[in-house]
Amino acid sequence: MDELMDFAEVLERFDPVLGLEVHVELNTASKMFCGCATAFGAAPNTQTCPVCLGLPGTLPVLNGKAVESAIRIGLALNCEIASWCRFARKNYFYPDMTKDFQTSQYDEPIAYEGHVSVETGGVVYEVPIERAHMEEDAGKLVHVGGATGRIEGAEYSLLDYNRAGVPLIEIVTKPVFGTGDRAPEVAREYVADLRDMVRALGVSDVRMEQGSLRCDANVSLMPKGSDTLGTRTETKNLNSLRSIERALRYEIRRQGAVLAAGGRVTQETRHWNEAGGYTTSGRSKEQAEDYRYFPEPDLVPVAPSREWVAELRATLPEPPAERRRRLTTEWGFTEAEMRDVQGAGALDLVLATVVAGAPPAAARKWWVAELARRANETGTDLDGLPITPAQVAAVQALVDAGTVNDKLARQVIDGVLAGEGDPAAVVAARGLAVVSDDGALGVAVDAAIEANPDVADKIRAGKVQAAGALIGAVMRTMGGKADAAKVRELILTRLS
């Protein structure tokens, strides 16, 4: 187990420097260089052809839609768009690519020199973007034999090349300085903003749990007052926004302990273990890999005309910060309420719920209070929960119609999350509708009055607030399934 230093103590002595690499899988219908489909979850090797299998004599042809998406992402990141750029071969030997190289971009990325603003805890941090370039995804490995599917100790491996050749955009930041103790949160918010931005562009599904958004997080520690960068580590296997924040917090504490003990941080790739909450050493980068990049001779250069870039710029959605400001006003939220929404990664979900008919305050309450807690409990991101904005809006509609009260609504949500179907189906199947029928409630109200004569006297004497005790008693009798307003009305009618 690694030695860890207290997070606050590390921050007293060092400044963390972040570097984030995000891969976004584009949602084009076909692959980057061939016409194979890109659908997620297809049966193994049903979406391959001679081009993406790297067979001799085949020629790749670039997917124009992928270039368009790359440019739109670049523009949304406030990048310059190259007027001329090429693809390059990144040579490496690993079975996830049959060609023994990945077609990528090297020193001529399609987009470069951008920046995005990230807000957390009321402070705005500027994240400088180094580049966004186009490349292709690799195949998927399954390791057989050995312990639980790990590559270590495996006897052999099996490959599915459906993903090989799916278009990717890699977005790389420059070193991010000055985030201090907020470094892990800034990283998380940056990726969350990127996800929202890419989703708004409509160019990717950006689902971390399906791997269409992947993040590698670099961090190093710089001694306070120094301007020499420390040695960084790169942490992989970050499958949720939450794991980005946790893994960085861990690495900062681990590196702090290493440096404080007079040791040296090894430049290496580390793997995040989500269940255990720690990172482990992967391959060391001391022998720097030599990818022998060279321009891809099978593809001609990409030279987007300025007119095309201007056209694409006109299609950009509203920038996230402006959108947040507009929605805060439209929904009548306070800035603090909006920060909670943003912090929970719930902005798009709340919006979709409002669009589906729920009042903004109710949509916020369900996502930020109720569902965020459940996502936290199960260790998933909010949008990974098996409930849709339309279903949340339907739950609220049931509340507004008086069919269920808040307490029952939570049980309806339990049912939806457990896969029991839409809210209406859950209410029917679990018998969750409140009783507002006068007959059944009247019996319970009479019983409550009889059982609590002193309370009843107080109400008769005009102490209306004492009705709460009787409402509680009726609720208990009815197993929580009573319409509270109706019960109150019945009590007051009887005792006035």
Partner 1 sequence: MTLTPDDVARLARLARIDLTVEELTKLAPQLDVIIASNRLVSEVATADVTPTSHPLPLTNVFRSDEVVASLPVADALAMAPAAEEDRFRVPRILEEEQ
**Token reading at 25:** 């899988």
What DSSP character marks residue 396?
H
Q: Smallest distance, Å, CB 26 to partner 1?
A: 10
SS3 104: strand
The DSSP string of 239-303 is -SHHHHHHHHHHHHHHHHHHHHTT-----EEEEEETTTTEEEEEEE-SS------EE-TTSPPB-
Spatial strand order of the sheet with 14-25 comes to 80-81, 111-120, 123-136, 167-173, 14-25, 213-223, 233-238, 268-273, 278-284
Residues 145-204 contacting partner 1, CB under 8 A? 151-161
Total of residues contacting partner 1 (CB under 8 A) = 55
Q: Smallest distance, Å, CB 210 to partner 1?
A: 19
Q: Smallest distance, Å, CB 107 to partner 1?
A: 12
Among 27, 343, 417, smallest CA distance to 211 is for 27
Asked whether position 269 contacts partner 1 by CB under 8 A, the answer is no
Q: Smallest distance, Å, CB 44 to partner 1?
A: 5
Q: Smallest distance, Å, CB 65 to partner 1?
A: 4
Q: Smallest distance, Å, CB 34 to partner 1?
A: 8
When binding is defined by CB under 8 A, the residue of 110, 258, 265, 302 that contacts partner 1 is 302
Q: Kindly tell me the sign of the dihedral angle through the C-alpha atoms of 25, 29, 31, 33.
A: negative
Candidate ranges 22-30, 73-81, 225-233, 369-377; the one touching partner 1 (CB under 8 A)? 22-30
Say what angle helices 406-417 and 423-430 make with each other, to 10 degrees: 110
**Token reading at 300:** 């001609």
Q: Smallest distance, Å, CB 307 to partner 1?
A: 13
When binding is defined by CB under 8 A, the residue of 3, 6, 12, 37 that contacts partner 1 is 37
Residues 46-105 contacting partner 1, CB under 8 A? 46-50, 53, 55, 61-67, 84, 86, 91, 93-95
Candidate ranges 44-52, 212-220, 388-396, 425-433; the one touching partner 1 (CB under 8 A)? 44-52
Which distant-in-sequence residues (6+ apart) come within 8 Å of 108 by Cβ?
Answer: 82, 84, 85, 86, 88
Asked whether position 300 contacts partner 1 by CB under 8 A, the answer is yes
Where on the chain is the footprint of partner 1 (CB under 8 A)? 28-30, 34-37, 43-50, 53, 55, 61-67, 84, 86, 91, 93-95, 142-144, 151-161, 290, 292, 295-297, 299-304
